[in-house]
Copies of this chain bind each other. A is one copy, B any other.
Amino acid sequence: MFESAEVGRTVTKEYFVKEELKLQTELLNAQQALREAQIPVVIILSGVEGAGKGEVLNRLCKWLDIRGIQTYAFLDEAEEERERPRYWRFWRVMPARGKISILFGSWYSQPIINRVFHKIGNRRFEREFNRIVDFERLLTDDGVLIVKYWYHLPRRVLKKRIKADKKEKQRHESGTPFFKKFFKRFDEFLAVSERVLRASDTGFSPWHVVEASDGRYRDLETGRILLAAFKSRLAHIDRTVNVTVQPALQSTNPDGSTVTVLDRVDLKQSVTDREYRTGILRLQRKLYKQAWQAYLQRHNTVAVFEGWDASGKGGAIRRVTAGLDGRLYRVISIAAPTDEELSQHYLWRFWRHIPRAGYITIYDRSWYGRVLVERVEKFATETEWTRAYREINEFEAQLCEHGVTLLKFWIHISPDEQLRRFKEREKLVWKQHKITEEDWRNREKWAAYEAVINDMVAHTSTHYAPWTLVAGNDKKFARLQILRTFSDRLDEDLD
């Protein structure tokens, strides 16, 4: 893969200056067009240590309009990052629509380094390939343009450069603290890198290997590749969200004629007041201790609450939090997204709230909105919600691999029970804010929602993050069921 970048290409100064002018003008125009088309761009600068990535960055900042460009380096890991699934840090730096993020190091860095220094085995290394391809597909599916550069230098050039640098008192990258360590394992580094590059060289996100021996050639080539990528993306503006169309998944009939998983929930289950009172106190006490235990073990918990309107999500959440120390949990109520959130992939606004190690985050509604309300109301296209299952599973897999206990509750009630509660809400003054026209409209789509919920459970109930379908007609029974599940799962996952 790298042989093609050991040819020894050079460019004269005169040629460079002439070409630079043209290139810069065209790049600026293309950048402006991308901004207008609201296309986000991720540029990844990677490659051999000492190839001049910093100089390339500087050149790009000169050629492009730096307003709307952000650069990020992933030099070392902060605790805030270690305490969350690894991709959290990449989600943080994703460009908003129309903006450009230039990444210095990326999701490629750690797998490569860990493999070179034998911190991970081959299997783990290869698993990372899938994660990377999945992530890049998710981004490009959402309209992001990814331009990936790999700057290559033959060993002999690098060696010469180091010698020259020593004379020049190490102005260049060979002066960095990592350089020596890296240079010793040069061949291994190349071999490992090549494997990742091949595995992640996809049609939607190809690699560009650039020969870096000559600075002018390197920069000019970078600019030309960028311009070509800009132009090709601009030529396909309309295909934004359909870059890879996957076939729609099989779904039950929206008329509700088929049996759904919800039919298996026995809504007649109930508890007596006495059972409830003693049960809830016992469970809350247990949970209280478990939460502190989790805190001391730096163990994360994420609980998702979904359910029909008026199914009692809020009340159930309060019964859980009543059993928790106020310092150990946060409730995130998912409301309308802000414009910063709208300007990103839909999962972005959930990633940003992922808690640090030791805490509990409760989502009152969640990322499942994508395959529930957004599907029914057609806010998401079919392509978007069908691929969302996979995106969600991958997201949750990352949480669970990081050691997060993930709980997902769907509180089920019957249509009759919902009607009764709606009417009650209308009567009680302090509950009136909870019932709107929209709730009545949603009610009419009961059958459509049933089908959609069935699909959701079918596609996203995984062994690592199963759905708990809660029998919600009796609120007290539901609360006990939820608290018991919560506590049992923590029992399993805590040391």
Binding site for B on A (CB under 8 A): 21, 24-25, 28, 32, 45, 53-55, 57-58, 61-62, 65-73, 75, 78-80, 83, 96, 104-105, 168-171, 173, 175-177, 281, 284-285, 288-289, 292, 295-296, 314, 318, 321-322, 324-328, 330-333, 335, 338-340, 356, 364, 429-430, 433
Please, how many angstroms separate the alpha-carbon atoms of A54 and B360 in the complex? 15
Is the beta-carbon distance between B330 and A71 smaller than 8 angstroms? yes
Is the beta-carbon distance between B73 and A285 smaller than 8 angstroms? no
Q: Which residue of B lies closest to A336 (CB)?
A: B67
Q: A61-B321, A78-B83, A168-B285 are in contact. List 10 more A-B contacts (CB 8 A).
A: A28-B433, A45-B326, A54-B325, A57-B321, A69-B333, A73-B328, A78-B356, A175-B289, A177-B292, A338-B340
Q: How many copies does the complex hold?
A: 2
Is the beta-carbon distance between A173 and B75 smaller than 8 angstroms? no
Q: A169-B285, A177-B296, A288-B175 are in contact. Are A326 and B68 (CB under 8 A)?
A: no
Please, how many angstroms separate the alpha-carbon atoms of A322 and B176 in the complex? 15
Is the beta-carbon distance between B430 and A24 smaller than 8 angstroms? yes
Q: Which residue of B lies closest to A341 (CB)?
A: B340
Please, how many angstroms separate the alpha-carbon atoms of A80 and B340 in the complex? 22
Q: Which residue of B lies closest to A58 (CB)?
A: B322
Which of B25, B295, B335 is the one whose CB lies under 8 Å from A430? B25
Please, how many angstroms separate the alpha-carbon atoms of A480 and B77 in the complex? 34
B residues near A55, Cβ cutoff 8 Å? 322
Is the beta-carbon distance between A68 and B288 smaller than 8 angstroms? no
Q: How far is the CB of A328 from chain B (nearest CB, A)?
A: 7
Q: A58-B321, A61-B321, A339-B339 are in contact. Are A66 and B331 (CB under 8 A)?
A: yes
B residues near A284, Cβ cutoff 8 Å? 171
B residues near A71, Cβ cutoff 8 Å? 326, 330-331
Is the beta-carbon distance between B330 and A75 smaller than 8 angstroms? no
**What are 30 A-B residue pairs whose CB atoms fall within 8 Å in the complex?**
A25-B430, A45-B326, A53-B326, A54-B324, A57-B326, A58-B318, A58-B321, A58-B326, A67-B335, A68-B335, A71-B330, A71-B331, A73-B327, A75-B295, A75-B328, A78-B79, A78-B80, A78-B83, A78-B356, A168-B285, A169-B285, A171-B285, A175-B288, A176-B292, A177-B292, A177-B296, A338-B338, A338-B340, A339-B340, A340-B340
Is the beta-carbon distance between A21 and B430 smaller than 8 angstroms? yes
Please, how many angstroms separate the alpha-carbon atoms of A318 and B62 in the complex? 7
Which of B25, B105, B338, B429 is the one whose CB lies under 8 Å from A429? B25
Is the beta-carbon distance between A61 and B331 smaller than 8 angstroms? yes
Q: How far is the CB of A423 from chain B (nearest CB, A)?
A: 19
Q: How far is the CB of A162 from chain B (nearest CB, A)?
A: 15
Is the beta-carbon distance between B364 and A66 smaller than 8 angstroms? yes
Is the beta-carbon distance between B325 and A173 smaller than 8 angstroms? yes
Q: Which residue of B lies closest to A322 (CB)?
A: B58
Most central of A54, A71, A321, A364 by chain B CB within 10 Å: A54
